[in-house]
Amino acid sequence: MHVDHIQRALLPSKTAPQAAEKLEQAFLEEMLKYCGPKSTDGAFGGGIGEDQFASFLTQEYAAVLARKIDLGFGERMKLQ
């Protein structure tokens, strides 16, 4: 029985930094849902359209933040 192919599959690949950035983006997106920018009420509010598309804006904010800052998830994802 050969398990060499399993051990090679567990080694970090070139996609590990991309996976870490996606994980950081997902984390930041969840944080921004609770403490990020909220929709505006009144004359300058976007109404129901703003409510419908607010998640896309939150997702983009998280993507920009994940590119700009490093939360260190990549270091924690490395195999020891």
Residue 39 has pLDDT above 90, yes or no: no
With 0.75 as the threshold, say if the pTM is over it.
no
What pLDDT is recorded for position 12?
A: 55
Query: Is the residue at 10 inside a domain?
Result: no
Q: What is the pLDDT of residues 1-33, one digit of tens each?
A: 555 555 555 555 567 778 888 899 999 999 999
What pLDDT is recorded for position 79?
A: 46
Please answer whether residues 51 and 39 qualify as being in contact, where contact means their C-beta atoms are separated by less than 8 angstroms: yes
Query: Is the residue at 69 inside a domain?
Result: yes
Q: What is the pLDDT of residues 45-79, one digit of tens each?
A: 777 888 888 889 999 999 999 999 888 887 877 74
Domain count, the chain: 1
Query: Is the residue at 61 inside a domain?
Result: yes
Residue among 37, 3, 22, 32 nearest 67 (CA): 22
Query: Is the residue at 6 inside a domain?
Result: no
Query: Is the residue at 9 inside a domain?
Result: no
